[in-house]
Amino acid sequence: MILTVTLNAALDITYHVPRLQPHTTHRVGEVVERPGGKGLNVARVLAALGHDTVATGLVGGRTGEALRAHLAAAAPGVVDALVPVGGETRRTIAVVDGESGDATMFNEPGPTVSAQEWAHFQDAYRELLIDAHVVALCGSLPPGLPVGSYAELVRTARSAGVHVLLDTSGEPLRRGIAARPDVIKPNAEELARLTGLTEPLRAAHEARRRGAYAVVASNGPQGLLAVTDEGTWRAAPPARFEGNPTGAGDAAVAGLLSALVEGLPWPERLARAAALSAATVLAPAAGEFDGAAYERLLPQIDTLP
Amino acid sequence: MILTVTLNAALDITYHVPRLQPHTTHRVGEVVERPGGKGLNVARVLAALGHDTVATGLVGGRTGEALRAHLAAAAPGVVDALVPVGGETRRTIAVVDGESGDATMFNEPGPTVSAQEWAHFQDAYRELLIDAHVVALCGSLPPGLPVGSYAELVRTARSAGVHVLLDTSGEPLRRGIAARPDVIKPNAEELARLTGLTEPLRAAHEARRRGAYAVVASNGPQGLLAVTDEGTWRAAPPARFEGNPTGAGDAAVAGLLSALVEGLPWPERLARAAALSAATVLAPAAGEFDGAAYERLLPQIDTLP
């Protein structure tokens, strides 16, 4: 099975308002809630592709309960192995302006996790790794967790012989890379911040030098760049798509993992990731992917060395 | 005891952000939750003044559970007689900008209440009226309730011989007045909208003509105007106060009810309402009142015929 880890899961709430006007009162017409956090998004896409998928991470409080109920309803194929904590799972509020279609985001910080809760999670994680072929470690860290937490989880996975993909940013990414993950999937901006190099190919080589076995960098509509010990490839969709990029990066992670467990070579992994990513931008609901668009786009992805 | 009714209770959530910038992502530093809805605010002030207070209304879902937990913690003196519904209690989000101190509000609509739930609430309400000296009907109506719902509750209270105060706005206020409440407490703007008259004294007389036995109109820092069958009075605080006006109107309602059950005459009821209102503006936390300020201000309120 494929394991995804979401340490700072969220309940994503979307408010639709006619027009956002600071310092006024808005009556919200429609309230939409969905399970959020990058690892949960990855798990939903994997389950939709038909993979055995287990989602772990940390959840707590009433918001955590709401998140689990939404996850069970929206992604019944995902096995919920989330670990409870005493704090309250964070909410993210996206206020979507009917005039411009733009979103204004308010992200709560998330629960403060104690050392004991972290030790308890690591026990659960070790158990789950026994049946895992691959694990994806995704998103930000909640308050209270040491910045080296992902590095610990990378080391545990590698000791257990489980292939590990790390998708985070900032200092947790920097520390995580030093623990030698099999794949990292930064976007071009995160990669530049990590390495100080703005040219993606040079930056990817630098990230490999620092410990990542493979680097898959996403660069919005320009597609994906993979720098691996087997070679370098670029995968780009046939056209630029208009749509909502929310979750496109998570769909790419799901594509990489899905193709990996099927034993496909790098160019096909990358093509699947790029097609799923584009099919997510095209889907009407944020974070979903359009299955028909995925099937249509997959053979159209140009994967070049 | 004093009964308060909050048909569209809310979980009030406050986010503090350094600066609100539309169409960007904000990390929320601090999340504050409190029970909201005008009737619950009134109940909190009454309990703080030492009155036997019962809060009823409608609550539902996980947000409703959170609201009840916060109410029990913040106002242990208030007896929770809220009636469950199947829908989800609304949230209100206040985004407070650290630069200007101004709040931007997002108010969810609230649960859709079925005819059966409304009938069930009315049964509970009739039971609660048996021990009530006075009842306050406060705030907006949730979706699904007929616009004449407050009028029904006014009639039920009057049939039971219970003194009834109505504090709502728009069409529910217009219909409610026709059912002959003992007191209405609009602000100057609501009173003008109701009557089409901008001069508060004339507008208050018009509202009495339409059915209200007494009208107490609040006009921000200018204080309160009462037009009753015993006479007309104005109560104003000794100075203009800087502070947060959230809950000042609800504190005034609590002052009127509290003085009424103590058998005080109109001028003293009005003075208490004005002092509590000013002491709420002065309190550091939104919707609380500053007890020392209340004691100090009460003898300073000018109540003039």
Q: Decide if the complex's ipTM is over 0.90.
A: no
CA distance A140 to chain B (A): 12
Check residue A63 and give its pLDDT.
96
A128-139 average pLDDT score: 98
A199-206 average pLDDT score: 96
CA distance A128 to chain B (A): 30
Check residue A18 and give its pLDDT.
92
CA-to-CA distance for A112 and A100, rounded, in angstroms? 36
Chain A residues with CB-CB distance to B29 below 8 A: 109
Subunit contact B22:A103, Cβ cutoff 8 A: no
**Which of the given ranges, A36-40, A220-224, B94-98, B285-289, has the highest pLDDT on average?**
A36-40
Q: Which member of B28, B65, B104 has the closest CB to residue A22?
A: B104
On whether the A2-8+36-88+110-304 domain is CATH 3.40.1190.20, my answer is yes
Q: What percent of chain A has pLDDT over 70?
A: 100
CA distance B70 to chain A (A): 13
Query: How many Å from the N-terminal Cα to the C-terminal Cα in chain B?
Result: 30
A196-218 average pLDDT score: 96
A14, A70, A104: best to mutate for the B interface, most B CBs within 10 A:
A104
Chain A residues with CB-CB distance to B104 below 8 A: 21-24, 26
CA distance B93 to chain A (A): 9
Subunit contact B104:A23, Cβ cutoff 8 A: yes
Check residue B241 and give its pLDDT.
76
With CA atoms as reference, the chain A residue closest to B19 would be: A22
Subunit contact B95:A106, Cβ cutoff 8 A: yes
Walking along chain B (305 residues) 10 residues at a time, the average pLDDT comes out as 98 93 91 94 96 98 96 95 97 90 91 97 98 97 96 98 97 97 96 95 97 94 92 89 82 97 96 94 81 92 86
Q: Which member of B26, B31, B65 has the closest CB to residue A62?
A: B65
Average per-residue pLDDT in chain A? Answer: 94
Check residue B17 and give its pLDDT.
93
Subunit contact B93:A93, Cβ cutoff 8 A: yes
Over 90: is that where the pLDDT of A305 sits?
no
Subunit contact A100:B23, Cβ cutoff 8 A: yes
Subunit contact A109:B28, Cβ cutoff 8 A: yes
Check residue A35 and give its pLDDT.
94
Across the A:B interface, residue pairs with CB atoms under 8 Å apart total 75
Domain-wise residue ranges, chain B = 2-8+37-89+110-304
3-state secondary structure chain B: CEEEEECCCEEEEEEEECCCCCCCEEECCEEEEEEECHHHHHHHHHHHCCCCEEEEEEECHHHHHHHHHHHHHHCCCEEECCEECCCCCEEEEEEEECCCCCEEEEECCCCCCCHHHHHHHHHHHHHHHCCCCEEEEECCCCCCCCCCHHHHHHHHHHHCCCEEEEECCHHHHHHHHHCCCCEECCEHHHHHHHHCCCCHHHHHHHHHHCCCCEEEEECHHHCEEEEECCEEEEEECCCCCCCCCCCHHHHHHHHHHHHHHCCCCHHHHHHHHHHHHHHHHHCCCCCCCCHHHHHHHHHHCEEEC
Chain A residues with CB-CB distance to B107 below 8 A: 25-28
Check residue A304 and give its pLDDT.
86
Check residue B237 and give its pLDDT.
85
Q: Report the half-sphere exposure of B271 (CA within 13 A, side-chain side).
A: 17
Q: Evaluate whether A298 touches A264 at the Cβ level (below 8 Å).
A: no
Assess whether A250 carries a catalytic annotation.
yes
Subunit contact B20:A25, Cβ cutoff 8 A: no
A222-240 average pLDDT score: 91
List residues in chain B touching A: CB distance below 8 A.
15, 17, 20-29, 31, 62-63, 65-66, 93, 95, 97, 100, 102-109
On whether the B2-8+37-89+110-304 domain is CATH 3.40.1190.20, my answer is yes
Asked whether the CA dihedral B32, B37, B40, B44 is positive or negative, the reply is positive
Subunit contact B107:A26, Cβ cutoff 8 A: yes
